Amino acid sequence: MVQTFRDIEREKFAINPKTCEWTLRAMTALRANIDINIKMHGPRDHLSQGDIFMFNHFARFETFIPQYLIALETGVYCRSIASGEFFVQDNTFSRYLRALGGVPNNYERLLPFLAEEVLRGGKVVVFPEGGMVKDRRVLTDIRPHPKRPDYSVYSRSADTRRAHHTGAALLGLCIDGFKIGLSTLIDRGKTDELNRWADLLERSEDDLRTSLAKPTLMFPANITFHPLRVDQNLLARAADMFTGGLSPKMAEEMIIEGNLMFKKTDMDIRLGDPVNPRDQFNWLDRRLLAKRVEQASCIDDLFKPAKTLEKITERVPQFAITRHIKPLRDHCMSVMYSNLTINVSHLASRLIMMWLEDGVTEVDISHFDRTLYLAIKNIQQAENVHLHRGMRNPADYVGIFELNCPQIRFFIDSAVQLGLIERRDQKYCFLPKLQAEATFDQIRMDNPIMVYANEMAPIHAAWQALERARIEVDHLSPTDIAHRRFDDEILAWQWNHTKFQKPKYDAINAQETATADSRPYLLLPNGQKQFTCGVLLVHGFLASPAELRELGEKFAAMGHAVMGVRLAGHGTSPHELQKRKWTDWLASVRRGYEILAPFCDQVIIVGFSTGGALSVIHAADHPEKLRALVLAGTPLKFRNRNLMFVPLLYGANKLMGWMPSAQELLSFRPNESEHPEINYRNIPIGGLHQLRQTVAEMQRRLPDLDCPTLILQGDGDKVVDPASATMIRRLATNAGDIDVQMLKSDRHGIVNEDIDGAHDRIIAFVQSHCDLQDTQTEAIPAE
């Protein structure tokens, strides 16, 4: 039996399911044992809907990851275009690449072959940049068409800049052009054309009809890595040892890409909106496409450049396809680059380059931090931008004000290590190397700041966020900053509320009964900008800001600024509380104080239960503007003797933490709350352990307390031993003016329920210790 060309081609490039399955298993095992955190963003059905996937290219292993994820999600093994150098010899590696679906980029029937694969239900992965773009430098020329700019990247082989490859655009246009043309012929009654093309494509007529009905969807996607590390790694050292010395190019790739894989790195893959090539064709194109399909003897004819055809009757219909190639390519590139996942390093890098362009070579560290913070807040408001979780979760960036933001610290430390930035006299000094030319193969090692800045360059909204921040930084008042920091508190609540609602937390969450609004709140009566007195409200263990909301609204109605703090881990899920430490709760109090203080001349803190203990610890540091303190139901001693067993339970929980089922059993205990609409129904054992540590720290710091203090305590409290009130007074040896008032109550929630005039007592105390204006105003929330 004589083999046809198609038989040889099919055999040569046959995908081997067993090889693919083995590779999937191997990559899954590898993924579980390396530190790269791969996240695919976008609707999951996009992977099944797509036909052509286009990715930017920064690292070699990217050429495997997309196919792996698509196969994992859809079960379809993709075709991908690989460098022809890997197929020069018929060896084990080249055969392996073919078995995985790889096709050499110099194969003479590359695009027609891929078109036939798509028409048979296959998928194709393309890298239109044509190679690794290590410098991330994408030049944009908007002169031809502002809405469809031309893009170019550096070509190492040609040592010049060039446009992106057009193969993916041509592939999409030819496939959909074929579908439109053949469908039109069938609608005209030319069913013989359906039969002819079914034979040519070796498909049944029904299968071909199904393919014709489906639009060919192209999905441009962006792959973003964060952070970039330039330090030596085990992979590079091993390779150097076994090869007797690596070339600079190979050493750079081993270091950079080895670090991406084996040191904690986020790899965000973001699919853009689908691009439908069919949208390119107008009514005249559609008529010409029918003619071109009828003229074509095989699918290859549709890929011929119009100028190579001899007959004008063939050139004109072919032009209906080829004239759309560049506009479609540039549109896809625009979608690809706009789907960058922007991280803090992008903003910091571009900010530095903007200063350098203005001739600024040093900035105060505090000025740098404030400008960067404002840029983060600005870009959070921008539309159609995608932010890395390090800029969406305030916990990752709020430490910027205390030089305690890990992602910024890593960015600066790396720049200092590379000789790009110097710390001197509380300034960041930008060194000449930042602007020096770096070779294409060394730029990732020598100047990652330039790489980050280049990558962000196509995102106009990010530029605007930075420009606005540079203008605002010297003009915003402390209250303007406070409003932005309060927004962070809301964002943190939203982030954690969403994070801890995942299905794996359902067993505990389903038992929860809290329905009250658990967000933090900032109440500024009549929108005033400055107040004589502000009241900071700090709720108790297992509760939320809702616990003291009624009291807060009374204070706001009297003309006070009011801030209701949300202690970390509260108001979302017991699972979040299980992961927080008492120092996180204290940090919440301190942030709340820093937010409220700019709005008022004096601050009084009202803390309930555990909130009272945290308030003591904070007050013991003598914060500016603190005038007085109210402690209600604050524990030094508990009624529940079971708390003595918390260390034992906590230790067992830590011991059994490696066993999920055991951890679930040991991690929580039921809570019979007085206020089930506010409090958690389940108590994390870890949280109880942190509670004990909070009380111990309060006891240690009580001698440092030096402000007037009101202590309210229910005489029959079943949670906190009433003796705690006198114990606190006795230990606060330097506080001086301490008023202990015992309330007639067998309930713990004396403030929430306003028992025995608790609200009036607190209000009277505040009135006596703060110069108040007796204006009755309506509170306007600043939420």
pLDDT of residue 469: 97
Higher pLDDT, 44 or 236: 44
Min mean pLDDT across 303-312, 405-414, 428-437 is at: 303-312
Question: Please, what are the domains in the chain?
Answer: 5-334 (no CATH), 340-476 (no CATH), 521-769 (3.40.50.1820)
pLDDT of residue 659: 39
pLDDT of residue 138: 87
Q: Using CB atoms within 10 A of its CB, is residue 719 exposed (0-12), middle (13-18) or buried (19+)?
A: middle
> How many Å apart are CA 248 and CA 780, to the nearest integer?
63
pLDDT of residue 231: 79
> How many Å apart are CA 316 and CA 288, to the nearest integer?
8
Task: Check whether 146 has a pLDDT greater than 90.
Answer: no
Q: Which residues contact 85 (CB under 8 A, 6 or more apart)?
A: none
pLDDT of residue 641: 57
| pLDDT band (50, 70, 90) for residue 41 | very high
Per-residue tokens: 156: 């190492």
Residue-wise pLDDT for 675-698, tens only, equals: 999 999 999 988 998 999 999 999
Task: Check whether 636 has a pLDDT greater than 70.
Answer: yes
Q: What is the number of other CB atoms lying within 10 angstroms of the CB of residue 7?
A: 11
Min mean pLDDT across 83-92, 195-204, 518-527, 738-747 is at: 83-92
Task: Check whether 2 has a pLDDT greater than 60.
Answer: no
Task: Check whether 244 has a pLDDT greater than 70.
Answer: no
Min mean pLDDT across 307-311, 374-378, 456-460, 500-504 is at: 307-311
DSSP conformational letter for 712: E
End-to-end CA distance of the chain: 79
| pLDDT band (50, 70, 90) for residue 607 | very high
Task: Check whether 398 has a pLDDT greater than 60.
Answer: yes
- Integer angstrom CA distances of residue 290 from 186, 190, 286, 588, 634: 10, 11, 7, 67, 82
659: amino acid identity, one letter: M
Q: Are 542 and 683 in contact (CB under 8 A)?
A: yes
233: amino acid identity, one letter: N
Strand, coil or helix: 292? helix
Max distance between CA atoms of the chain, in angstroms, equals: 106
| Number of residues that this document lists for the chain | 783
- The overall average pLDDT reported for the chain is 89
Task: Check whether 216 has a pLDDT greater than 70.
Answer: yes
Q: Are 446 and 438 in contact (CB under 8 A)?
A: yes
Higher pLDDT, 306 or 583: 583
Share of the chain above pLDDT 90, in %: 71
| pLDDT band (50, 70, 90) for residue 179 | very high
Residue-wise pLDDT for 319-372, tens only, equals: 989 999 999 999 999 999 999 999 999 999 999 999 999 999 999 999 999 999
Residue range 434-440: average pLDDT? 89
> How many Å apart are CA 439 and CA 419, to the nearest integer?
17
Residue range 701-730: average pLDDT? 95
3-state helix, strand, coil in the chain (%, to 5): 50, 15, 30
pLDDT of residue 235: 58
Residue range 752-768: average pLDDT? 96
Task: Check whether 157 has a pLDDT greater than 70.
Answer: no
pLDDT of residue 523: 97
- Integer angstrom CA distances of residue 551 from 295, 565, 626, 717: 82, 13, 19, 20
Q: Are 447 and 431 in contact (CB under 8 A)?
A: no
Residue-wise pLDDT for 571-603, tens only, equals: 999 999 999 999 999 999 999 999 999 999 999
> How many Å apart are CA 226 and CA 396, to the nearest integer?
14
Share of the chain above pLDDT 70, in %: 91
Task: Check whether 644 has a pLDDT greater than 50.
Answer: no
Residue-wise pLDDT for 11-31, tens only, equals: 788 899 999 999 999 999 988
